[in-house]
Amino acid sequence: MTSTVRTRFAPSPTGELHLGNLRIAVFNFLLARRHAGAFVVRVEDTDRERNRPGAEERIFEDLAWAGLHWDEGPDRGGPFGPYRQSEREGIHHEKAIELLERGAAYRCSCSEAELDSGRTATRDSPGCPGGCRDRADVAGAAPEGGVDGFAIRFAVPDRVISVKDEVRGDISFHGRDIGDFVILRSDGRATYNFAVVADDVAMEISHVIRGAGHLSNTPKQALLFDALLGRRPHFAHLPTVLGKDGGKLSKRTGAPGVELLRREGFHPDGVVNYLSLLGWSPGDDREVLTREELIREIDLARAGASDTVFDPEKLRWVSSQHIAGMSTEKLAEAVEPYLDRSRFPLEGVELVRAVEAIRTRLTTFGEVNEHLTLVFPEARALASAREELMREEGAGELLAAVRDSLAGLSGWSADSAGEAVRSAGKVIGVRGAGLFHPVRLALSGSRSGPDLGKVLEAIGRDRTLELLDEALARVRAGA
Ligand SMILES: [Zn+2]
């Protein structure tokens, strides 16, 4: 293993990426970037029955959306490929033979029936019931042609073994409690723990960062690293993320899949930021950090071990804060894919002005349409607002004064148009809600909405005057 930091994210293509998985990818990505190392994606697809067609591609899409760009992976290759575990069976085989030759593993000739009868309470580590470890006829190196028909077991030492965890400190366990576990099944397939370690060794992974759910795999994996490599990577087990009900994070407890967040238009930096706070903190009370800040400051030494709770409201808030930090031009670009053009055929500077009017209300890019209706209302909303205006005392005089004041403007900006409305109010002695509500009703079909000056700038002079004229006509017709 080199001194370069190499982290890996190892998803299984069995379904969609959920937030818990993405959090693991976030930590691996940030740590690799912090140390100018490599972030590797290895697809663990050996459980063929559970693999879903298209799932791998969707995982890549989700990672790319989150901006977690990987340096090596099945789609882009790299010096340690292949990056799909199912394509690495030869390497697993080689490593198993290596262990056999060194006497760290042995062939187990027990039949399935024997194995079944010997199964102990710890189902994952039954050990060998037939005493194969001590039988010369099966011990030692495999004959030419491999290990066909035999399972290969790892010979677990009978002593206390300690593993250092970057988050949890030292974890100790006794070899006796593990039992000699199978690393290669009799059909030649590697078991989960062995495939993972064989691949981590071959890919020179320096940091294994994953969820606390993997703690139970760690003793076996540490032993395998010792035997294959003579040393171990840094292990870091991040705290479990719980749903608000205290149960495991799931869709049922309000955890959206990554695809849903993408569809709704959460700010990807906000999502990455929020997920980084599930188990880590920058050491002060900051909660909104840019990607650059996260890369600079991420530190496993400040990761906590206690369970953490997913809070969808907080996620939304962090997303809104990242949106607030964008320039309006960038924000306009970001909302464009979500824009319902059939309702809001806005282009270029028109879109930028419209976004400027509503930007403080956005928590996601996808909310753009909902808020634009307050700038560009539907005809039905305008019609009913005009009915309302008809019944409002003095609305005609007020709208006429505002119209004249706006029509007399030489330029047209949020400031000048807003000021023109206020000065018209002064002339006729109306201000506050009495002034703004009728104007808003005439323009937006609603009494409340974004800053009036910005709305005026967004809809433009011609449309503003047209709307005021139409409202006036209705009010006068009803008078
Ligand atoms: Zn055996």
Is 220 one of the catalytic residues? no
Mean pLDDT of 168-180: 91
Span from the CA of 60 to the centroid of ligand 1 (angstroms): 41
Q: What is the pLDDT of residues 242-288, one digit of tens each?
A: 988 888 877 666 678 999 999 999 999 999 999 999 999 999 999 99
Q: What is the pLDDT of residues 423-441, one digit of tens each?
A: 999 999 999 999 999 999 9
Contact 248, 242 (CB under 8 A): yes
Span from the CA of 223 to the centroid of ligand 1 (angstroms): 20
Full-model pTM = 0.90
Q: What is the pLDDT of residues 295-327, one digit of tens each?
A: 999 999 999 999 999 999 999 999 999 999 999
Which of 95, 220, 244, 251 is flagged as catalytic?
A: 251
Q: Note the pLDDT of residue 147.
A: 57
Span from the CA of 130 to the centroid of ligand 1 (angstroms): 5
Mean pLDDT of 412-427: 96
Mean pLDDT of 176-195: 91
Evaluate if residue 8 carries a pLDDT over 70. yes
371 band by pLDDT with thresholds 50, 70 and 90: very high
Set out the domains of the chain in order of their start, with CATH numbers.
6-72+196-239 (3.40.50.620), 89-194 (3.90.800.10), 251-324 (1.10.1160.10), 328-367 (no CATH), 379-478 (1.10.10.350)
Evaluate if residue 97 carries a pLDDT over 60. yes
Q: Note the pLDDT of residue 123.
A: 41
Span from the CA of 389 to the centroid of ligand 1 (angstroms): 88
Q: Note the pLDDT of residue 254.
A: 65
Higher pLDDT, 217 or 116: 217
Span from the CA of 319 to the centroid of ligand 1 (angstroms): 55
Evaluate if residue 38 carries a pLDDT over 80. yes
Question: Average pLDDT, whole number, for the chain?
Answer: 91
Q: Note the pLDDT of residue 24.
A: 97
Q: Note the pLDDT of residue 1.
A: 42
Span from the CA of 148 to the centroid of ligand 1 (angstroms): 14
CA distance 35 to 344: 45
Span from the CA of 200 to the centroid of ligand 1 (angstroms): 27
Q: Note the pLDDT of residue 478.
A: 79
Query: What percent of the chain shows pLDDT beyond 90?
Result: 81
124 band by pLDDT with thresholds 50, 70 and 90: very low
Span from the CA of 214 to the centroid of ligand 1 (angstroms): 27
Span from the CA of 315 to the centroid of ligand 1 (angstroms): 51
Span from the CA of 34 to the centroid of ligand 1 (angstroms): 46
CA distance 447 to 374: 10
